Amino acid sequence: MRRVLVALAFTLCLAALAVCAVSPSLAKPRDPAHAITSDLICPCSCGEVLSGCTCETGKSMQATVENGIKAGKSKDQIVGALVSQYGEVIRGAPKPEGFNLIVWIAPFAATLAGFAIAFWILTRWVKRRGPLAPAGAGPVRGPAFPAGRSLEEDLESLRARAEAELRQSRR
């Protein structure tokens, strides 16, 4: 049964990868202006992606993009002109160079550090816990089970106490 589930999960993963690989080629070609404006953010207070922005600043930037495309400019030229006019704040994602490289690396580094810390803490907890008692080793002793009482006796005591409290709450 386990092998069937593993095979099914593997098949579903392969199917998902195939759909992801095929879907961009099936999609209709995008408008070049939309391809540029979807990567930019409106610099006004609305803070929307430029392709969906309806404010005056966004409309003027969209017109600048469309005019640049009609003039035969490349995407980099159009984006460069808008960045020089409005600043780096309009980029949807900072360029992965210089100080902006921290924005790209920091989330991955923080995630890896978190996993390392969690692994370290869990291994310390497991070591501190000590070895488990083998099956049939007799009654479990320790701080939770005072000397002379077995697990079954504690369970019976707790069960009796719970039944008594339940009877009292029904009255």
Verify that 117 and 146 share a domain, yes or no: no
pLDDT tens-digit readout, 153-167 = 888 989 999 999 999
pTM to 2 decimals?
Answer: 0.43
Is position 155 within any domain? yes
Residue 94 burial by CB count (10 A; 0-12/13-18/19+): exposed, middle or buried? middle
Verify that 158 and 105 share a domain, yes or no: no
Is position 7 within any domain? no
Is position 13 within any domain? no
CATH code at position 45: 1.10.8.640
Cα angle at 133 between 129 and 139, to 5 degrees?
115
The Cα 91–Cα 82 span in angstroms is 10
The Cα 37–Cα 61 span in angstroms is 9
pLDDT tens-digit readout, 61-76 = 888 889 988 998 888 8
> How many structural domains comprise the chain?
3
- At 142 the three-state DSSP class reads strand
**Which residue range(s) make up the domain with 119?**
99-123
For residue 21, what are its two tokens? 């690989």
Verify that 149 and 169 share a domain, yes or no: yes
Residue 121 in contact with residue 132, Cβ under 8 Å? no
Is position 134 within any domain? no
